[in-house]
Amino acid sequence: MRGRPGLFTRYEDASAILPSGTQKVWLGIGLAVLVIAPFIVDRATLILLATAVVAAVGAIGLNLVTGYAGQVSLGHAFFLGVGAYSAAAIGGQPEEGKELIALGLDLWISLPLAGLIAALCGIVVAPVALRLRGLYLALVTLGLVFLGEHIFRNWTQLTGGQGVGREPATLSLFGYRFDLDGSVLGIDLIREQQIYFLALVVMVVMALLAKNLVRSRVGRAFAAVRDRDIAAEVMGVNLTKYKVLAFAVSSFYAGVAGALLYTVTGFLDPNAFNLFLSIAYIAMVVIGGAASIAGSIAGAFFITLLPEVIENVIHALPIDAETLFTSISTAQIERILFGVLIIVFLIFEPLGLYGIWIRIRNYWKAFPFSY
């Protein structure tokens, strides 16, 4: 319906993936930017971009369980870790003289398996989640992160142990190596570009799957559980089934994201999967907007690119940054901003970037009138 984007005459139109033409245009522009970006930016930024694309998969996963199904999980770092180490164990190349578990299998096995193993962990945790509601659940998932950290530090055969670490999964798909420089269709790509495009494809597929999931019967059941779980149960939504499903799907996403997360940097540190990582993903969901797939992606990019932005801003400041920030490093400013952004968004814009977008859209809809 041209000119009347809010008017739907069929249910299919209202629940379409992209209900309006504007959204189709924006999606096209966004994808074009994502495809062109790796050819323009420098290598350091490209690494961040690739990380952001992978983080988006993880953020979508967290949004499914927390934003859509309303089960607050502080344990996302644990599932990311499970995915990362499953993938590394299945897809890593065995090395001489090291007693690490490494089966050296192809990516088409290791990536889905990493997701499935993480999902299995999610299913194991879910029974606890079923008995618990609200804040108790948040606390249990918090405990999960600490237990996970302990396991990752001590299971040296899997993780290399503290201070040693190991390499993540080798990105070899049907024998094609994504973690080396190569050329596709006559275009020479460096290693980071290859990983970036692999991640981008994974992200687009996963985002599409998530979008389809949440506009289906399952997604409506998730929302019902979130809004009032008892009412949902009375209406015939099987709480057990959907809570377990939410955890399993979310963990699957986390597992896939974890498998790719550190492939760009090429090093898996067992201390990386800590509470702060969980909070970073919570921040992505909160800042991007709860219960919004596009918001999760925006939040993931926002949070991951934040250090780079801060760095540039500090260098662009007219004052001498060295004297102003003698004791506080960029990493610290980043953490403080995390905190501040979470607070500001929760107080002033609970819908996140998605909410800001809605406000802008509504403003221009009636322009030049205020309503």
Partner 1 sequence: MIELAVTLPQSLTRFLQATVEGLSLAAIYALLALGFVIIYKSTQVLNFAQPALLIFGAYMASYLSITWGWGFWIGVLVAIALTAGLGAGLERVAMRPMVGKPVFAAAILTLGLDIGIRVFVNDLIGVNVRAIGDPPEGGFGAPGLPWPQLPWNWGGVIIQPRSVVMVITTGVLVMALLYFFRRSRFGLAMRATAIDQEVALAQGINVGGVFSMAWILGGAMAAVAGVFGATAFAGLSASNAIAALKALPAVVVGGLDSINGAVVGALIIGLAEAYTATYQAQYAPWLGSNFSQVVPYVVMLLVLLVRPYGLFGTEEVERV
Interface residues with partner 1 (CB under 8 A) are 72, 128, 131-136, 138-140, 142-144, 146-147, 149-151, 153-155, 228, 230-231, 234, 275-276, 279, 282-283, 286, 327-328, 332, 335-336, 338-343, 346-347, 350
Comparing CB distances to partner 1, the nearer of 106 and 349 is 349
Least Å distance between CB 84 and partner 1?
19
Comparing CB distances to partner 1, the nearer of 144 and 259 is 144
Contacts of 20 (CB under 8 A, 6+ apart): 5
Comparing CB distances to partner 1, the nearer of 113 and 284 is 284
Give the Cα separation of 136 and 141 in Å (integer). 9
Comparing CB distances to partner 1, the nearer of 136 and 363 is 136
Nearest CA to 59 out of 80, 40, 36, 28 is that of: 80
What's at 85, amino acid-wise?
A: Y
Comparing CB distances to partner 1, the nearer of 216 and 238 is 238
Contacts of 120 (CB under 8 A, 6+ apart): 251
In this structure, what DSSP letter does residue 267 have?
A: -
Comparing CB distances to partner 1, the nearer of 144 and 293 is 144
User: Helix, strand, or coil here: 279?
Assistant: helix
Kindly state the tokens that stand for 290.
Answer: 């709860």
Least Å distance between CB 332 and partner 1?
5
Looking up tokens 């998730």 gives: 222
Least Å distance between CB 165 and partner 1?
17
Least Å distance between CB 151 and partner 1?
8
What is the signed CA dihedral for 204, 249, 18, 351, rounded to 10 degrees? -110
Pairing of strands 182-184, 172-173: unpaired
User: Helix, strand, or coil here: 187?
Assistant: strand
Least Å distance between CB 338 and partner 1?
6
Comparing CB distances to partner 1, the nearer of 205 and 328 is 328
User: Is-contact 104 259, C-beta < 8 A?
Assistant: no
Comparing CB distances to partner 1, the nearer of 194 and 296 is 296
Least Å distance between CB 131 and partner 1?
4
User: Helix, strand, or coil here: 184?
Assistant: strand
Least Å distance between CB 66 and partner 1?
8
Which residue blocks in 160-292 are alpha helix, DSSP H?
191-214, 217-227, 229-234, 239-261, 275-288
User: Is-contact 254 80, C-beta < 8 A?
Assistant: yes
Least Å distance between CB 329 and partner 1?
9
Looking up tokens 């970006």 gives: 37
Least Å distance between CB 156 and partner 1?
9
Beta-strand ranges (E) seen in the chain are 172-173, 176-177, 182-184, 187-189
Comparing CB distances to partner 1, the nearer of 176 and 325 is 325
User: Is-contact 179 191, C-beta < 8 A?
Assistant: yes
Least Å distance between CB 350 and partner 1?
7
Comparing CB distances to partner 1, the nearer of 211 and 335 is 335
Nearest CA to 42 out of 364, 270, 313, 308 is that of: 308
